[in-house]
Structure 1
């Protein structure tokens, strides 16, 4: 089972070298065996076959792991390792991260300056769509990128540095997810297998180098800390999650609810919600100051919405009726309204309910977001996998995860 998934991961990495975008001046792009494959339609087909076969093998191995989740940590490590040195998979975001990290290291705010100012390999891998766009990410990934840029200016090694951050996120999830599952009354080993070793996590979280994995890890840790009675630490971690991407702050609702006494009244509820929110915001602001980028990213939060993604329900419905902007805004308003309703009306002092509440809120944010990519499911995955669902709720959760 582990060997099968390892082979699948190796095939995905090899396929990514053929089909993925590489800086054209990179020595890897001109390897004797690789260049003919990358430069011909037949070679591209070979790369697609390798990648598809690899993902299929990973999926089969993961399904076997769900039946016997004792080896989940070993499987996660083994399946992640071949992707450590691969180029960014299934998107070019990793190259953008590399450029934004260098900008931060040079003292140029990625909320003002863009990768377009660079020449050579650092610019070549960046998606033209984002070449002149400010970074929509918070100071945590930018600060990490700046640290790595202090060690190297090679784009490939900068991407590897972000993969190390993804692996740290996996380690944090390995700590937090079993705690969430025990609090919710579900199987910790099965939940860990779902979150840590799923093809979604391996391929998009590690292979795709997406910041959403780190955000989800900090969210899970925030709620786990609150479940242990440390709501101040939970609020701080919620702020750290929001300092990766703004949706990470949604976990603050669960932190506040579980830290209150059962059947808490409106006034203590509002006081706790306010305290958690203020602490989280303070962490976001302090992190921005420490990294040297401030809160300029607030002006760039609409950057991901510049594209129309096929997984966005509101975008697809909007295109059908010719009201994309209106339906996107309506969907976001409904998601935020639902989050507010849970915060003000949700049950307090119940660990299982807090996990389920965060699962529902984050799922609503994913489904109704103006732009949705497959890796956005990380926002909800740790909570969907650990919450106790009714039969009908489990079916709905499975349907959302399958998207």
Structure 2
């Protein structure tokens, strides 16, 4: 019982906070910062960042901090799995409290493991000064003197708002929806300080975490899964802490809105679900996939195909109207639709279709075939998009209707198809999966895999594109991970703990209540 283990729960909270603090301190040594930042004039930080040994030490500090967070999370999940009876409500409060205090040190951190947060700040400023971020990249904020400098010096020599933006995206429009840009524009109207704007964007991302804290227990109650354990698997996980909170990606706000859309669409009315689903798409387009689950759950069981198609069309029509209406009301327009191909400019190793196509291109090149570059990669990416659409259509037309648990599974299925088949996949794309997978009645092996993947994707966050070309850092990070990951996942004690969480007798509480 929770009352009998106060010291243990206090130790978990302290360990998690310590880990977050180490990530914050280490992140200051390895993250990209605007050259004009006052912190860089502090002396000590400048020395650490200017020396190879200092940067490598900071990187190890980040990894140790992430390991402490992962260890605290596993202990928290184990603790919740052992909690039964009336203490389950206290367990849910403990999970929410842990997520809150573990996030707190990261609120003031710079964008970690990616420069996207700095781009968010610049895109908001573009909208604030009357330049559409759907027509211009952050480089449009440069003055005439710095605009003529070669990359990356033109950004570093420009105004603070653009100094830390990744040169790769300096001239590209944003593919994000009008709600994301509007929030950035509001922030830019209050301050031009990029670090303050980054903190503002992180608070917006944390609003998504608050939405998940509200929605996940309700989704779990539909499916008969313990709300406390489902929340523990989602809210304070290493995947969430490293990529959603530390990495400062708008995927966290998107998935929070998706979870809320499914809940209100089922428990209130499908029109509310469609409207909130449109808001999720107005942050990032894949958020609109939740509308499939809203439509299916709002129908009676066993309806005719024509009735199903009508409801799907109604939900899609309302969501599209809200999405396009936001572009008109905000004055931002719909240029983000044309910019959706911007992320596809790069190749990421987590994209299965890009990886398969790249291997085929390499193989035919070895055989001496005279084909244009990336021929098979383009074909594989195209097939992946077709398969993604086929999965979405198949789920929409053939998945059971009138069942809340089936609706959660439907959203999980189409979200998984997106992550697995998308031409470009980053670590933070996986944030869309846990809220829907952790609330399903999964088997022991599947839950164990979810735990292992959450730990791994959180721990490897520093190895994302932010380290491209930094070979010493990559080697140091890999060597450190080779020590930490087995301790967290493969030792006998670790395997026993994960198995105990995955086989918790409190995982399935009761049958899901009938849909309205």
TM above 0.5, yes or no, is yes
**Which of these two proteins has the greater Rg computed from alpha carbons?**
2
Q: TM-score, normalised by structure 2?
A: 0.76
For residues 302 and 445 of structure 2, what CA distance do their matches in structure 1 show? 26
Distance in 1 (alpha carbons) for counterparts of 2:433 and 2:421: 13
Q: Which residue of 186, 202, 206 maps to 1:167?
A: 206
CA distance in 1, matches of 2:391, 2:453: 17
* 2:408 pairs with 1:355: yes
Distance change (3 Å), C-alpha of 1:392 and 1:333: farther
Are residues 1:200 and 2:208 paired? no
Asked if residue 19 in structure 1 is aligned to residue 42 in structure 2, the reply is no
Is contact 2:206-2:252 (8 Å) kept?
A: no
2:375 is the alignment partner of 1:337: no
Q: Distance in 2 between matches of 1:170 and 1:221?
A: 11
Match of residue 128 from structure 2:
105
Report how far residue 321 of structure 1 moved: 0.3
Map of 2:224 onto structure 1? 185
Displacement of 1:281 after TM fit?
A: 0.7
Shift of 1:57: 0.2
Q: Which of the numbers 329, 332, 339 marks the counterpart of 1:300?
A: 339
SS of the residue aligned with 2:438?
A: helix
* Number of aligned residues: 403
Q: Which residue of 2 aligns with 1:95?
A: 118
Structure 1 equivalent of residue 484 of structure 2: none
Q: Deviations over 1:280-335 (max 9, x none)?
A: 11111121222221111000001111111111111111110011111011112101
Q: Which residue of 2 aligns with 1:63?
A: 74
CA distance in 1, matches of 2:411, 2:442: 13
Q: Which runs of 5+ in 1 are unaligned?
A: none
Contact 1:83 1:206 in 2 (8 A): yes
Is residue 315 of structure 2 the alignment partner of residue 276 of structure 1?
Answer: yes
Unaligned residue ranges in structure 2 (runs of 5+)? 1-11, 81-90, 142-157, 362-375, 458-516
Give me the TM-score of the superposition, normalised by structure 1.
0.97
Q: Is the 8 A contact 2:353 2:421 kept in 1?
A: yes
| Whole-angstrom distance in 1 between the partners of 2:32 and 2:334 | 31
- Conservation of the 8 A alpha-carbon contact between 2:233 and 2:451: no
Give 4+ residue runs of structure 1 displaced > 3 Å after superposition.
390-403
Aligned-residue Cα RMSD (Å) equals 1.4
Q: Please list, as runs of the form range in 1=range in 2, the aligned pairs for 1:208-247 lying within 5 A after superposition.
A: 208-247=247-286
Helix, strand or coil for the counterpart of 2:401?
coil
Q: 2:95 aligns with which of 57, 72, 95?
A: 72
Aligned CA distance change for structure 1 residues 396 and 227 (closer, same or farther; 3 Å)? farther
Does residue 149 (structure 1) correspond to residue 188 (structure 2)? The answer is yes
Q: Which residue of 1 aligns with 2:498?
A: none
**1:116 is matched with which residue?**
139
After TM superposition, give the deviation of residue 227 of structure 1 in Å: 2.5
Question: Hey, what's the Cα distance between the residues in 2 that align with 1:399 and 1:65?
Answer: 15
1:201 CA drift (Å): 1.0
Q: Which residue number in structure 1 is paired with residue 330 of structure 2?
A: 291
Separation (CA, whole Å) in 1 of partners of 2:266 and 2:245: 28
How much has 1:391 moved relative to structure 2? 5.3
Alpha-carbon distance in 1 for matches of 2:45, 2:359: 43
Paired residue for 2:358, among 298, 319, 329?
319
Bigger relative contact order, structure 1 or 2, given CA contacts below 8 A and separation 6+?
2
